[in-house]
Amino acid sequence: MQARVTITLKNGVLDPQGKAIKGSLNALGFEGLNSVRQGKIFDIALEEQDKTSAENKIKDMCEKLLANTVIENYTIEITE
Amino acid sequence: MQARVTITLKNGVLDPQGKAIKGSLNALGFEGLNSVRQGKIFDIALEEQDKTSAENKIKDMCEKLLANTVIENYTIEITE
């Protein structure tokens, strides 16, 4: 199974990196930007063949390592 | 318009960070992992109202700043 985990900052959590990228885009002449927020993805290939147990396993990985659930949200998408 | 840019490493490009995360997951007891690859996303809110011109504008941002097109692929998704 192939899965994609998407991790984004929760609403209200400051994103200085995103703000810096917005500043750089403005400096390059891009206008009309309201906000830029950065997040990350993990593409995980695992041997597990059952979709539900793959999802549960990945949820566990997110809670234990991949996401900081105090400030981040995560979504799991099984892609194949 | 709200858009999400997803940036992933091209196939064949080494991903030491993903490899380290895979190692950490193994150390936590997660088995049956074939690979972990990391990527990033940018959630961009822009004033542009026309979908096509928003896409073109973001494509331009990717080429000029957001992605390193030598080693990275990018996809653009207009979310609303």
Is A41's CB within 8 Å of B39's CB? yes
What is the pLDDT at residue B11? Answer: 95
CB contact under 8 A, B44 and A57: no
Which segments in chain B show pLDDT lower than 50?
Answer: none
In this prediction, residue A17 has a pLDDT band, given cuts at 50, 70 and 90, of very high
ipTM score of complex = 0.92
How far apart, in Å, are the Cα atoms of B14 and each of A2, A7, A47, B25?
18, 22, 21, 18
Count of CB atoms situated within 10 Å of the CB of B63: 11
**Overall average pLDDT of the A27-32 stretch:** 96
Instruction: Please name each of the domains of chain A with its CATH number.
Output: 2-78 (3.30.1280.10)
User: Contact B36/A21, CB-based, under 8 Å?
Assistant: no
Is the CB of B43 inside 8 Å of chain A's CB atoms?
A: yes
Q: What is the pLDDT of residues A42-79, one digit of tens each?
A: 999 999 999 999 999 999 999 999 999 999 999 999 99
Res A80: pLDDT? 79
Question: Per-residue pLDDT averaged across A25-46, rounded?
Answer: 97
Model pLDDT for residues B54-73, shown as the tens digit of each residue: 999 999 999 999 999 999 99
